[in-house]
Structure 1
Amino acid sequence: MSRILITGMSGAGKTTVLHELSRRGYRTIDTDYDAWVLPDGTWDEPRMSALLASDSSLVVSGTVENQGRFYDRFSGVVLLSAPVEVLIERVSARTTNTYGSSEADQHAIRQHVLDVEPLLRKSATLELDGRRPVPQLADEVERLITSDQI
């Protein structure tokens, strides 16, 4: 039973990699949707605890302040990273999520790269360059999943 967390800044490619893993047949949860994140910007801890107590393998994506409370329940934490200019370009162009379209959002992303990303890097099992082709990124995550199932 593998549980992998994919984390990183907005625009790093978390959702895109999650979609590819879902297409390959893996159970995935994008915590940016379906009320996983509470109004204070943290995960709904009872709900996340129940999810991680289930007996199925899954890949979760998200970046929230309290995610570290769950690291011991993941078999791997993958940090997707990219230069801030790439992040800003991506969030400015996307149509499925409005976060990142305003100057205030983009300023926050720049600040998070400085303040939050180093913390994520310290806790990550694996860091991947989010500029790599999506199939390659999914292959790397899939290796983590399958190595934990052996």
Structure 2
Amino acid sequence: MGRKNYLVEGGSGTGKTAVCHELRRRGYQAINGDRDLAYQGDPETGEPVAGITGTAVHSHHLWRVADVRELAADQREPATFFCGGSRNLASFIDLFDAVFVLETDVETLRRRLDQRPPDEWGGQAAERQLIEHLHVTREEIPPGGIPIDASAPLARVVDDILRHLRDGGPG
């Protein structure tokens, strides 16, 4: 949907959904990939998989690649932000002019996870353990992304992302 396409990535609890909503509020085209593009699938084949529960949900959290490609090819908007994370990012990362990585300290992460209801991802103890492990190891964060301090107030986080675009930064 954009002549320029940007990915807003980061671990669970870093604020990807909040950033998506704020970008939309400000009039930008923003897609919540975790809600609008995601499904549970085999990370190797992409085939949908049913009946996955617990922390396995995370490792099977994929985005529909054809839909991502179609949205990224649409040139009607000057910029489109794809917000969220997926285990098949390598299948479409080439579509993005830049990747912004939301980063936060562990105290902020824990405070945000404490606010999640039990039926939301990160609301269960095992899910929270995985989130905290991934936060420390950064093993699912795409390399080369532009770090954004997501422990700051939401307006400043989005301002920082947009400042990179205005200042002749990425894309």
What TM-score bracket applies, with the shorter chain setting the length? 0.7 to 0.9
Instruction: Choose from 123, 131, 148 the match for 2:144.
Output: 123
Q: Give 3-state SS (helix, strand or coil) of 2:136's partner.
A: helix
Q: Give 3-state SS (helix, strand or coil) of 1:91's partner.
A: helix
| Aligned: 1:109 with 2:131 | yes
- 1:14-53 equivalences under 5 Å are 14-34=16-36, 36-40=37-41, 41-53=61-73
Normalised TM-score (structure 1): 0.85
Question: What RMSD over aligned residues (CA atoms) do the two structures have, in Å?
Answer: 2.2
Distance in 2 of aligned mates of 1:25 and 1:12: 22
Asked whether the 8 Å contact 2:150–2:157 carries over to 1, the reply is yes
Q: Which has the larger radius of gyration?
A: 2
- 1:1-150 equivalences under 5 Å are 1-34=3-36, 36-40=37-41, 41-55=61-75, 56=77, 57-94=79-116, 98-115=120-137, 117-118=138-139, 120=141, 122-124=143-145, 126-146=146-166, 147=168
Deviations 1:66-119 (A, max 9, x none): 113322211110000112332232022035x7111110110110222234x255
Normalised TM-score (structure 2): 0.76
Q: Greater helix share, 1 or 2?
A: 1
Q: Give 3-state SS (helix, strand or coil) of 1:127's partner.
A: strand
Moved over 4 A (4+): none
Cα distance change of structure 1 residues 68 and 84 upon mapping to structure 2, 3 Å threshold: farther
Asked whether the 8 Å contact 1:88–1:100 carries over to 2, the reply is no
CA shift, 1:9, in A, is: 0.8
Q: Percent identity, aligned pairs only?
A: 27
Q: Greater strand share, 1 or 2?
A: 2
Distance in 2 of aligned mates of 1:141 and 1:83: 18
Asked whether the 8 Å contact 1:2–1:149 carries over to 2, the reply is no
Q: How many residues align?
A: 146
| Letter aligned with residue 43 of structure 1 | W
Asked whether the 8 Å contact 1:28–1:60 carries over to 2, the reply is yes
Cα distance change of structure 1 residues 32 and 121 upon mapping to structure 2, 3 Å threshold: closer
| Letter aligned with residue 164 of structure 2 | L
Asked whether the 8 Å contact 2:34–2:63 carries over to 1, the reply is no
Q: Give 3-state SS (helix, strand or coil) of 1:58's partner.
A: strand
Q: Which runs of 5+ in 2 are unaligned?
A: 42-60
